[in-house]
Amino acid sequence: MKYSLMQQDIVVADLEIEEITGRIQKIYQVWEAERMPVGVPIRRGIADRTALNEWWADRMIPLYREGVPEALSDLQMPNPAALSLHSLGMSVSDAYWIRPEGSHLTWEEKNFFAHAFSEDVGNALMGQREMKSAVDLHSPDSTTDGYLKKRWEWIDKRPYLLKGGSPPYFQQPFAEAVASEVMDRLEIRHVPYTLVMRDGRPYSLCEDFVTQDTELVSAWRIMQTRKKASSISVYQHFVNCCEALGAPDVIPALDRMIVLDYILANEDRHLSNFGLVRDVRSLSWIGFAPIYDSGSALGYDKTAQQIRSGTGIVCKPFKKRHEDQLSLVSSFDWIDLEALCGLDAWMRRIGTYIEEDRMEAILFSMHRRIDRIQEMAERGSRGVALSTEGDVEKNVAEDYKR
């Protein structure tokens, strides 16, 4: 079927989309080349269809997320792609959507930033099996990726993301709240997350940080805007791409993200877990997105003993070892570690569902890492040159499969 790829009410391109697989089969015409999704190459007016399909597939629910096959069956949908078509590909992270040929639908009447959305898809994704006879499939849940169980809720006229944790410890919601608190104290721009309990299970809750007139563009997409030479490190390639686009103040923001991830032993800062924010109308780059999705941290999948030993911690997105990644930090001058005084008590107070021995291990290993930051801060910046040594070779997100 024919659709127009839209950005708000601007027609960006005309496409043919196969209804069952959701694949873009043809790009008939690109009307607004500069408004095509970031990182989709256009040569002599012809857009790269494979790249556009990759972008399109990234705004679908991963089939491997817990409970997704069951939810699709409850909703009588053959696959995540078909589900996303029912939401016209609309999300709450940007202003792209698809308008069926001949339709007069407008952004104003359909977007999820301004209107409450159906809870049916969210209910199915959360495993609530009681389906109404007439389900409404227009929901941003259908276009939100990520492996953790989640749903968007409409609270005080804004979308909020409710996100669970993975078994056996369900630690991500706690770690997400701790990351938020650490960033509050260190004055790092971030999305505020709170820990909430629903039916005895922990979840994190955060407000949509994107608005109708802004869009989140992942680091992965930013890194598709230029060819990466093998002699250039992953870090430097990202910085070069940001510079070429004209995005401001990226290095200080990366410094803060790397330090945060070190303190929390974050193991899943892949290239879709940070990015830039752009103004949808002017297409100007506003800057580094506030830090989000920091919950796969503090030894979320490890035993207390493993947490204490501090071994086996995965590092992303630049270097394979956190110590090497820390050496990319350009300046520690902004850090006031005194601000973390009293953090232990705060963590014990909110993390009541974390076992005592586990909490002790988390605090013990976190302090060891804070001490290391203190040492580095005293010594000054940048130990190691920006070489490709120890670089992450592939961008892979944790899928929490056991």
* Helix, strand, coil percentages in the chain from 3-state DSSP, rounded to 5: 35, 20, 50
- Of 66, 120, 181, 208, the one binding ligand ATP (CB under 6 A) is 208
Among all chains, which residue has been given the structure tokens 């679908």?
Answer: 60
- Angle between helix 343-350 and helix 356-379 axes, rounded to 10 deg: 150
- Of 67 and 388, the one with the shorter C-beta distance to ligand ATP is 67
Shortest-Cβ-distance residue relative to ligand ATP: 146
At its nearest, how many Å lie between Mg ion and the CB of residue 269? 9
Q: Say if residues 300 and 348 touch (Cβ distance below 8 Å).
A: no
Binding mask 296-335 for ligand ATP (x = CB under 6 A): ----------------------------------------
- Of 69 and 383, the one with the shorter C-beta distance to ligand ATP is 69
- Of 148, 162, 178, 291, the one binding ligand ATP (CB under 6 A) is 148
Beta strands in 8-88 (DSSP E): 10-17, 24-30, 42-43, 46-47
Q: How far apart are CA 98 and CA 85, in angstroms?
A: 8
Token pair of 223, please? 């890194």
Total length of the chain: 402
- Of 146 and 248, the one with the shorter C-beta distance to Mg ion is 146
At its nearest, how many Å lie between ligand ATP and the CB of residue 380? 33
Q: Say if residues 113 and 213 touch (Cβ distance below 8 Å).
A: no
Q: Which residues are CB-neighbours of 152 under 8 A, at least 6 positions away?
A: 92, 112, 117, 122, 139, 140, 141, 144, 159, 160, 161, 162, 208
Check binding of 292 to ligand ATP (CB under 6 A): yes
Contacted entry of ligand ATP, Mg ion, none for residue 161, CB cut-off 5 to 8 Å set by kind:
ligand ATP
Check binding of 210 to ligand ATP (CB under 6 A): yes
Among all chains, which residue has been given the structure tokens 């590092």?
Answer: 315
Sites for ligand ATP among residues 214-253 (CB under 6 A)? 216
- Give the phi and the psi of residue 145 in degrees, each rounded to 5: -85, -160
Q: How far apart are CA 314 and CA 269, in angstroms?
A: 10
Check binding of 146 to Mg ion (CB under 5 A): yes
- Of 120, 293, 301, 391, the one binding Mg ion (CB under 5 A) is 293
Contacted entry of ligand ATP, Mg ion, none for residue 210, CB cut-off 5 to 8 Å set by kind:
ligand ATP
At its nearest, how many Å lie between Mg ion and the CB of residue 146? 4
Point out which span in 106-114, 131-139, 266-274, 371-379 binds ligand ATP (CB under 6 A).
Answer: 266-274
- Of 273, 294, 325, 365, the one binding Mg ion (CB under 5 A) is 273
**Site residues (vs ligand ATP, CB under 6 A):** 92-93, 144-148, 150, 161, 163, 191, 206, 208-210, 216, 268, 272-273, 292-293, 397-398
